[in-house]
A and B are shown apart, each in its own frame.
Chain A
Amino acid sequence: MIKNTYVKCALVLGAICVSSAVLIGGLNTVANIYKETHKSDKAPTQIQDLKPAGTFVEVTENLPQAVTMNSTKITFTSVWALMENGTPVGYAYEINCGKPVKTEVTFTVLFEGPAIAELPELVQPSAINVTVGGDSGYDSNVVKLADGLVAGTSTANDYSSVMSGGTKSQKFFIDGVQAARKDYASRINGQTDTVVQKTPLQDIYGDLYKAEAEDTSFTKLEATTDHCSYEITNRYLVTLTNNTTTVAYAGTVSFQDPEGETDVLKLTAAFSGDKSTVKLDGYKVTKDISWNDYKSWMDGVKAGTTSLEDENAVHTGSTLSTNAVRDMILGMRDAYVANYKSEVEKLFGDKYVSESADEFAAVTGTTDHCSYEITKRTSVVLTDGTGKAYEATVSFQDPEGETDVLKLMAAFSGDEGNAKLEGYKITKDISWNDYKKWMDGVKAGTTSMDDENAVKTGSTLSTNAVRDLLLAMRTNYYATFGE
């Protein structure tokens, strides 16, 4: 039994505090998991309530600016497109009309159907949800006015429908409706850009973007650092218009902000380059926070003026968020490097150990079927020997008399006189591409490269051209044994 009062007091109070922290920490974790697993794709309640069965998509570009009306300044908190078959058939607005006296007037309004851009006064709202009707005690008159506008018994063209009691709130509300319907009349007629739903990767790469595919084999990565806890949830393979492939990761990072609250930030970041030259191509924040000076640090990393490794570069106004984001970006970068495989490595698969580019003078040739140029050669160390990878271009006349150009990589291993095609990759394809069946046969060992009669596919011209190229590559491969 402890007899010293001070020790006893400290122990009891400490034990209660620790128990409290454990309980709250555990509960908070469970609550966060619950929130994450019960995330709704629906619009916020105040918007969805306007049309419960409707599909709303938030408009993120060309948002209306705050506008000063007769009695107040109207701010558009958010704009949502009501979608049907992929096109907007209406718009919902979340509006803040400011404070008539002490309490703000805020409401959401939905407009549907066609409108004449020059005559917004003809636009009638199909639903209004007054979220805050101004000062308590007079707010019910704003609700009545809203009901009247929807029913068509009141008008928002002027202040003639304003009832006694809370007149200022009602005037603010009418200003809000007028501002919203004016924007609607323009927006529904395409006078501002309609909703274009872009993926974060489209935003990152812009015109360079061609396609993306999620890597479904990716397993979520979680970590806790001194600054944050983060999880990298998705991995995407991005194909660009120049046919290069980059990799992007999406993740969520949580950290304590200066006010002691837990801030949650979501972003997607895209990387390119090989293991030693990996660079951040860009990023898209999908859930932002108010302490967002971290973006200036990210922009520096993207531009190459700030080193991702330099922890002293985190000297922005939002050190906590920047440190947290840096930790997650480092996690993404490490995942990129760990998963990175060069094109040559992909050709050789599990046998690959290392590679080095050869000093190589381009080899050109012309045959009965084509002309080709072998531009690059790479020496590869394999688990069971060595190999060579080639890059080349081959041109030939297609059945329509056009010149087709095909670019490919091919990998060889094996001894002199006994070469094996380990793999190939087409970097620029053509429409007559049955030659791939022949190449697959060579790769599998079921078709001999030397057997010209094996070229019996539907694309004889292209297959003969590719065969001539591969034979030239193999010849060069055999020649390396004598070097």
Chain B
Amino acid sequence: MDQKPSKARIFLDPLFKANPLFVMVLGTCPALAVTTSFESAIGMGLLFTFVVFCSNLIISLLRKVIPDEVRTPCYIVVIATFVTVVKILSSTFLPELYNSLGVFVSLLVVNCIVLGRAEAFASQNTVVDSMLDGLGNGIGYTWAIAAIALVREVVGAGTLTLGKVFTFIPKVTLPILSGYSGSDFSMAIPLFKSSAGGFLVLGFALAIIAAVNNYKDKKAKEKARAAKAAAAAAAKGGNQ
């Protein structure tokens, strides 16, 4: 019988071990589309976190009430409600963020991570566990797209601009690979701001994570093999 994971595991696993983007390779469409700017990616991540957290919460609360026959339409309505809520909130309080994300805010309704967590987790677990799962997946997805956006903006533009989307902070452009005043120095590679650059960065990230996981698996297997050999040797000595 499967042992139920602890609350800490429910929250922490989606951050790294079962990261929705880097490990499960879900939600790649917005991850490529909104990661040309670091601030837009952070904004998208925050909106995503709100939607997945709230929809998990409500679906978990209603899991015993919703008949199995209409569970998918019910989940869609709940998710669409929270997507509409973030749409209204962002267009009212952060119009620059809303404009920069464009249609991808509305497309959260059909985001496979949100629907997937509702179907696979929230509909079968307690409210607290579902909230932790939603929060973990939200934060996990946010840092993943923020990391991609950071690389793409810095390498693609040579600078990092803050305050353009989150207008409540002062606007500043940090020179990193270019943009130094009085200098034409630039190591920016514009390709990274294009769609192809998005695929490249995501591909590199997935390759690195796969290599790390392979290395960990290999080490674990070697460790298991060594333990097995040690156990066999011990058994042999005992027989003699």
Contact = CB atoms under 8 A, between A and B. Distances in A.
A5 B67 contact: yes
Contacts of B197: 137
A137 B156 contact: yes
A57 B111 CA distance: 43
Contacts of B65: 12
A34 B67 contact: no
Nearest to B167: A45
A8 B67 contact: yes
B78 A140 contact: no
Contacts of A17: 77
Nearest to A141: B190
A9 B70 contact: yes
A137 B193 contact: yes
Given A24-B85, A137-B156, A12 B190 contact: no
Nearest to A21: B81
Contacts of B188: 140
A300 B96 CA distance: 41
Contacts of B195: 136
Contact of A140 (B62, B67, B74, B190): B190
B89 A137 contact: no
A16 B193 contact: no
A159 B194 CA distance: 25
Nearest to B189: A137
B194 A20 contact: no
Contact of A35 (B36, B62, B92, B192): B92
A138 B193 CA distance: 9
Interface residues of B, number: 35
A24 B74 CA distance: 16
B193 A12 contact: no
Interface string A389-416: 0000000000000000000000000000
B190 A34 contact: no
Contacts of B91: 31
B162 interface: no
B226 interface: no
B77 A13 contact: yes
A458 interface: no
B88 interface: yes
A140 B78 CA distance: 41
Interface residues of A, number: 25
Contacts of B78: 16, 20
A448 interface: no
Given A20-B80, A140-B188, A165-B190, A5 B157 contact: no
Contact of A5 (B69, B84, B156, B159): B69
A191 interface: no
B67 A137 contact: no
A140 B92 contact: no
B125 interface: no
Given A34-B92, A137-B193, A165-B190, A12 B77 contact: no
A31 B69 CA distance: 36
B74 A12 contact: yes
A45 B85 CA distance: 25
A479 interface: no
A196 interface: no
B185 to A, nearest CB: 12
Nearest to B184: A144
Given A12-B70, A16-B78, A20-B80, A137 B190 contact: yes
Nearest to B36: A136
B178 A13 contact: no
Interface in A210-235: none
Interface in B117-167: 156-159, 167
Nearest to A49: B171
A342 interface: no
B73 interface: yes
A27 B86 CA distance: 10
B18 interface: no
B227 interface: no
Interface of A: 5, 8-9, 12-13, 16-17, 19-20, 23-24, 27-28, 31, 34-35, 45, 135-140, 165-166
3 nearest A-B pairs in the assembled complex, by CB-CB distance: A137-B190, A20-B81, A31-B92
Given A13-B73, A31-B92, 16 more contacts: A5-B69, A9-B69, A12-B62, A19-B81, A27-B85, A27-B88, A31-B88, A31-B89, A31-B91, A45-B167, A136-B193, A136-B195, A138-B190, A139-B193, A140-B188, A166-B190
